[in-house]
Structure 1
Amino acid sequence: MRLSRSGKRDRISLESVDDFFTPRELAKILGVSEGHAYALAKSPGFPVMRIGRRFLISKQGLIRWLRDRGLA
């Protein structure tokens, strides 16, 4: 993940991503490392689909997952 000139990770908003996105984009949305985003994607109950080796996260699923945990 790139660091901006201020030394902070580049963040993106959930509204700016497609309906399905990668763990790399998830890391930018949540402001966590890519490793942590992949760990979340592999955790039980997380809204992710695997297509071969590729992980795709559902935007609506992530919103529900965050709400269920009182984080959104």
Structure 2
Amino acid sequence: MKESVYTAYENLPLFLNAETVAKLLGISISSSYELMHEKGFPSLRIGSRLIVPKEKFRAWVEEKTGGSI
């Protein structure tokens, strides 16, 4: 399992890339890319890059965990 280097939500960057999402969720980068392409996941395409706004990611996690993160 990948280990996150972030110890607090406030320390996250405003936009998360696939590597950061993978570390936060403890999944592989390829699984992170698959997740970022799923309907309902809050990713944005900027040119050829996929990014996730920090606030939208937190809301998604809370929704999927029943509001407990």
State the TM-score, normalized to the length of structure 1.
Answer: 0.77
Larger Rg: 1
C-alpha displacement of 1:46: 0.6
Gapped regions of structure 2 (runs ≥ 5): none
Gapped regions of structure 1 (runs ≥ 5): 1-7
Matched with 1:11 is 4
Structural RMSD (CA):
1.7
Matched with 1:41 is 36
State the TM-score, normalized to the length of structure 2.
Answer: 0.80
> What percent identity do the matched residue pairs reach?
26
Counterparts of 2:65 and 2:2, CA distance in 1: 24
